[in-house]
Amino acid sequence: MILEKNDDFSFDPGILPEELKPAAGEFMKLVQARHLYQAAIKEVSTKLEILDDEFKARNDYNPIHHMECRVKSVKSTMEKINRKGFDLCAESMSKITDIAGIRVICNYIDDIYKIAELLLKQSDIELVREKDYIEDPKNNGYRSLHLVVLVPVFLSDKVEKVPVELQIRTVVMDAWASLEHELKYKREETISKTAVKSLKQCAEEMAAVDARMQKIHREL
């Protein structure tokens, strides 16, 4: 299993857009609070690793192919708070649920729902929001299971409940999403309708591959 983490806690106020610079002092608090989100990622990723290890011990099979983790940069967090129209203060962090994110890449569709079910059964995990883009794909063909959960982070003097966003998808879904992002990155205004249609057709074809691979796996 590969676990990628963003441990960059640096913050240079000079990189901020002009409209955000007046709030730079306030958001130094955000820099100091980022360890909470990194800790929350450690909590959830450890839970997932333990579930994956247990599955391997019991069934000789790992449902999780790999995981990718990240904490949104201070600049990106500030920009999102500004776009949402929230007050430019550290307290607005609690209104943003994707500061900490984990992408869980599974082998098969069944694995997605099994991992989600096992995680959500744990007594200290609280489900905030669930969006199933596998059963109901986005208009562009995107497929994934999205969860936002609250996880307790135990500090020296208190317990903080911190949100973590999970995107759980198969290797096939992740391949399409990665390539679609690369093809459309900075081209949203110029990409043709034909290309958009072709990308959606690719998503549908890859979904069919996912289903066939799942069927083969069940038969083995």
Percent helix, strand and coil across the chain, each rounded to 5?
50, 20, 30
Taking Cα atoms as reference points, which of 169, 149, 177, 171 lies closest to residue 41?
Answer: 149
Contact predicate 89/23, CB 8 Å: yes
What lies within 8 Å, CB to CB, of 109 at 6+ separation is 134, 170, 210, 211, 214
Question: What's the confidence (pLDDT) of residue 9?
Answer: 46
Q: Name 142's Cβ contacts closer than 8 Å, sequence gap at least 6.
A: 133, 176, 177, 180, 203
- Helix H segments across the chain? 28-59, 74-83, 109-120, 171-184, 193-219
How far is residue 148's CA from residue 131's CA, in Å, rounded to a whole number?
9
pLDDT at 137: 96
Angle between helices 109-120 and 193-219 (to 10 degrees): 80
Task: Give the per-residue pLDDT at 2.
Answer: 42
Report the chain (220 residues): mean pLDDT per 10 consecutive residues: 48 59 64 84 97 95 95 82 79 84 97 98 97 96 97 93 97 95 76 90 96 94
Catalytic residue positions?
Answer: 165
3-state secondary structure of 16: coil
Using CA atoms, how far apart are residues 70 and 66, in angstroms rounded to an integer?
14
Helix (H) or strand (E) holding 143: none
Pick from 175, 164, 176: nearest CA to 36: 164
Predicted TM-score (pTM) of this structure? 0.85
pLDDT of residue 187: 72
Cα distance between residue 75 and residue 17, in whole Å? 9
Domains in the chain, please, with CATH? 3-171 (3.30.460.10)
